[in-house]
Amino acid sequence: MMRFLILTMCVIAMTGCASNVVTDYNSSVVFGNYSSWAFADNQSSSSFTSLDGSRIQQAIERELNRKALRKTPVAEADLLVNWQIVTEERLEQTGLGLGFGFGRGNFGWALSAPPPVREVEEGKLVVELADSETKNVVWRAASRRYLNEDQSPETRRKLIDEVVAEMFSKYPPGLD
């Protein structure tokens, strides 16, 4: 029994460490040909950048710098970087169903209640790198991690830094 409990705890721990990042890329592109980048001009339809948006941009800039890509004006960039937070709604089970019953002989009776369900809005950070000449996306990463309004600015910054670092750990593709 103890061995089963330890094994179960290990599986739960490893599941918690599983990657929340999914990447896709154009396999015909030679990523070594890219040496510079800029944020795409159409980065935001708003006239200002949110606090989290600023944190995301700083994290992207830091990670691309680590990849030896230099930031340049848009007209000189090999890659254009676009990011967005896509929100999706999903249903989440918030507990267990409840049921009870009894029976005697050939007769039984049961009553059950379905598990409580709530609608959850989930954010997904998507970062895309596009070739500046063709305007085609050559690399894309998406991550599902949660930012809550009640998190401190420092917690939000750390989470964004972790997510963006995990995304760019898979760039350039084929080095895993």
Enumerate the domain spans of the chain. Answer: 21-93+115-168
pTM, two decimals, is: 0.72
The pair of three-digit structure tokens given for residue 131, joined into one six-digit string: 């070739």
Contacts of residue 9, Cβ cutoff 8 Å, sequence gap at least 6: none
The CATH number of domain 21-93+115-168 is 3.30.160.670: yes
Cα distances (Å, whole numbers) of residue 172 to 24, 30, 35, 140, 162: 11, 9, 12, 11, 18
| Residue-level pLDDT, tens digit, the chain, 176 residues | 545 444 444 434 444 445 689 999 999 999 999 999 999 986 555 567 789 999 999 999 999 999 999 999 999 999 999 999 888 777 777 776 667 677 777 777 777 777 778 777 777 899 999 999 999 999 999 998 877 777 899 999 999 999 999 999 999 987 65
